[in-house]
Amino acid sequence: MGAAFLQALRACLGDPNVLVDGDLDAFEVDWRKRYRGRALAVARPSCTAEVAAVVRLCASHGVPIVPQGGNTGLVGGGVPDASGRQLVLSLARMARVRAVDADNLTATVEAGCVLQDVQAAATAHGLLFPLRLGSEGSCTIGGNLASNAGGTQVLRYGNARELCLGLEVVTAAGEVWDGLSGLRKDNSGYDLRDLFIGSEGTLGIITAATVKLHPRPGATLTALAACPGIDAVLALLRAARSRLDAGLTGFELIEGFALHLLARHYPDLRQPLDAPAWAVLLEVAAGDETEARERLHALLDEASAHGLVGDAVVAASLAQARELWQLRESIPLAQAREGLNIKHDIALPVSAIPGFLAEVEPRLRAEVPDLRVVVYGHLGDGNLHYNLQAPQGMPAADFLQHHEASLNRCVYDAVLARGGSFSAEHGIGALKVAEMAARKSPVALALMRTIKQALDPHGLLNPGRVLPPP
């Protein structure tokens, strides 16, 4: 069967676009290097018709499909398993911006279009596509939508789901659903789009999307402020919301140890604050720079007068703003250099975050006394990256093997007790399937399985991801 399938696949896509031999690590190893699979082959279609043809071919031969964009995911959802039976379907060659409709504030782009290129297409028309991620130079819009990506501007513009109006999807049967609508209002039946967004390639393969664009702000300013404690951080957030309203486009939290890791692994990154306990990265948008600067300085002055902010720096140029954002975006890279770690991408009501932080760290240290906790994330929308680094001198592999399960349990128990979620923006993939089984409502799981059975009855789309076995 394998030889016949590969022959038919080559006839469909051409020999250069069916990869079997050589170094396939770019497709078979995930970004965190935690998952290493073995693909039957890597298929590289160039258009929606070719994707549909490949899916029909896989259906007729019973070959499972793993859709893949930029392979920047953090939960092992975009690489094959070790069986050598799964086909990696790379959308990377489908990277066109099909159209920009400036009057309708929309762009239609193919799934393999790199996020940075979508942003650039909007900029070329004087507009803004506000999805912003640290991996935007390599992640793709199809993967962003398949995982319902979040990023640094969710508190103002919403997740990827809120930025998408329409989709083009290849179904498990190899049919094409053209739902590339640019309408804001369309109540003509079930919202099929929302089924596929966030489904991580388990229900259908996103091949194109119509996304919302926004007017570009006249000016954007960035500031980094030191806060004495997490209660002061929340008070600063309340003040920022009150003073800035929709002008507050970013509110990122960075705990002091995260900055320490940056200093160790990226000493060339300038840190303008002197070892703060907590730092907040704020972004403010306004009609012009004078207005933005006045509003931001008024906020920081008021916060300083009330003891919420100590030292603070406001970027004086675009280059300085980029330097401040680079601090925030380099934290995952610094953690990777420090060694494999336990990542928790959690969501909590913002009001519950101080209690969560106060309760959980002592519990974790009771099990692993010298554990190093790395906290940062999108505080404005309640999404924390609560990561655990092995104690100094303990091999990371031993740390994960002996402590990951129990530390996960401690963190997730506290999160769910406060009405939170164990997956905020990274998705489920292969990493959190067991958590789905243990923590998701049985009713919700039953409904999800009903949808999966209806749309992918043979279970060939990204099997083993998102949904635990019945």
- The predicted-structure confidence for 207-260, as pLDDT tens digits, reads as follows 999 999 999 999 999 999 999 999 999 999 999 999 999 999 999 999 999 999
pLDDT for 34 equals: 87
Of the pLDDT bands very low, low, confident and very high (cuts 50, 70, 90), residue 459 is very high
Per the structure block, which two tokens stand in for 141? 């819009």
At residue 279, the pLDDT reads 97
Tokens (6 digits) for 337: 């250099």
Interval 271-330: pLDDT, tens: 999 999 999 999 999 999 999 999 999 999 999 999 999 999 999 999 999 999 999 999
* Distances from the Cα of 207 to the Cα of 42, 212, 380, 464, angstroms: 17, 17, 31, 22
The predicted structure's pLDDT at residue 42? 98
Token readout for 200 is: 């991580």
What burial class does residue 267 get, using C-beta atoms within 10 Å of its C-beta: 0-12 exposed, 13-18 middle, 19+ buried? exposed
Share of the chain above pLDDT 70, in %: 100
- Tokens 């806060």 locate to 227
Cα–Cα distances (Å) from 199 to 205, 210, 456, in that order, read 10, 18, 12
Mean pLDDT of 52-74: 97
Q: Are strands 87-90 and 41-43 parallel, antiparallel or unpaired?
A: parallel
Over range 113-137, report the average pLDDT: 96
Q: What was the pLDDT predicted at 230?
A: 97
Closest CA to 386 of 440, 417, 424: 424
Q: Are 94 and 49 in contact (CB under 8 A)?
A: no
pLDDT, the chain, mean: 96
pLDDT value at 430 more than 90: yes
Q: What confidence score (pLDDT) does residue 44 get?
A: 98
The two tokens of residue 307 are 């003891």
> Rounded to whole angstroms, how far apart are CA atoms 85 and 89?
13
The structural domains of the chain, ordered by start, are 2-90 (3.30.43.10), 97-215 (3.30.465.10), 219-332 (3.30.70.2190), 339-417 (3.30.70.2740)
Work out the average pLDDT over 334-359.
96
pLDDT at position 1 over 80: no
Residue showing tokens 């991620």: 133
